[in-house]
A and B are shown apart, each in its own frame.
Chain A
């Protein structure tokens, strides 16, 4: 399936979202791709409830509030969100446009690419166990697509946050569940914690205090997981292991696109925020230039200047007239106010 738009924005963090607004004012349509299951980038994933104090004119605003307000602000431009997928490759089409392809084989064609990828894609934090890769997608899963494979199986869940507890509670209905965590306290929603403790009382969940050390193959396609508690090593045999240690950011496929990089950051100029490849821009935490500050407000500024240059690629024959949102009737129409 091929989608067409003026600009593909890689990353739906605060800066990618605001880029939709700045592009929209100039009549440039945009589609966003993000690996996460929701927009908002670091603000929504890492610190939804923490206050930010340096967004101009907002004395205090939480990461989630900022995300929600940005989503509202860009609504008039009807951006398309492609979530739960990573942009894997980019290539040039015959007519000189860009073709962006995602991990679920979605293809988007656009005149410009805007990389607003922060510190890279959010990916699961994996336990540092040698050879864990060879069990992945067989016995070890970091996310769950099809829970029916766990039916009647022995499943060990690791972690003490929301994902760990939600899946413990959910899968205890169909599988033999053990939950392992380093302490008997959990940073999950109080409701899920009490449900889990109740299930444990009813012996529908087996809680194990400890930390994973190793995984070994056993004969019948299952695995033996060894873990440490109070300096002693124990083990447990299970069919599936589900580690939930949160997410971390990893540059990922962007490193392979032939752009000029410096310490995993993309070099840009400070007039147009264009990369070493014409019509590919980089804004927000992912870029670097002399004096760069990784601040949301810097990213917003970069989005505005980037949009000016995108206009030239999208409307090569038109002149862009600078207007204020306060006074321009035309902009009011676009903003539906």
Chain B
């Protein structure tokens, strides 16, 4: 089964089973990790902020203006910052590594 690998805010690495009809945010949230995702995935809160492993970043769909603007309300934004609710999980990114951004 496909999976994603997420490092939580305590530095622990979690392997989470992933299914294709979900966003990365939903997969992380439903696995019980501490991701606020206050707006439920509408690109309206920036509390699903993650850092994508540099090896994987180019395999993702490009960030649209909405997401880039919403990131303006996040802190410690880096080149590999993304809002995880804006990324659909597909087989292409099976095994992707993410780090939850600090709150």
Contact = CB atoms under 8 A, between A and B. Distances in A.
Interface in B53-87: 68-69, 71-73, 75-77
Contacts of A160: 72
Contact of A159 (B44, B47, B72): B72
A128 B103 contact: yes
B54 to A, nearest CB: 14
Nearest to B40: A294
Interface in B1-59: 38-40, 42, 44-47
Given A248-B45, A248-B47, A182 B39 contact: no
B77 A211 contact: yes
B95 interface: no
A41 to B, nearest CB: 13
Contact of A182 (B47, B77, B103): B77
Interface in A100-124: 119
A245 interface: yes
Contacts, number: 42
Instruction: Tell me whether chain B's interface is mostly helix, strand or loop, or mixed.
Output: loop
3 nearest CB pairs, A to B? A187-B69, A246-B73, A46-B44
20 contacts: A46-B39, A47-B42, A47-B44, A50-B42, A119-B38, A128-B75, A128-B76, A128-B102, A159-B72, A159-B73, A161-B72, A161-B73, A187-B72, A211-B75, A211-B76, A211-B77, A245-B73, A248-B45, A248-B47, A249-B38
B38 A245 contact: no
A181 B38 contact: no
Nearest to B42: A47
A253 interface: no
B34 to A, nearest CB: 14
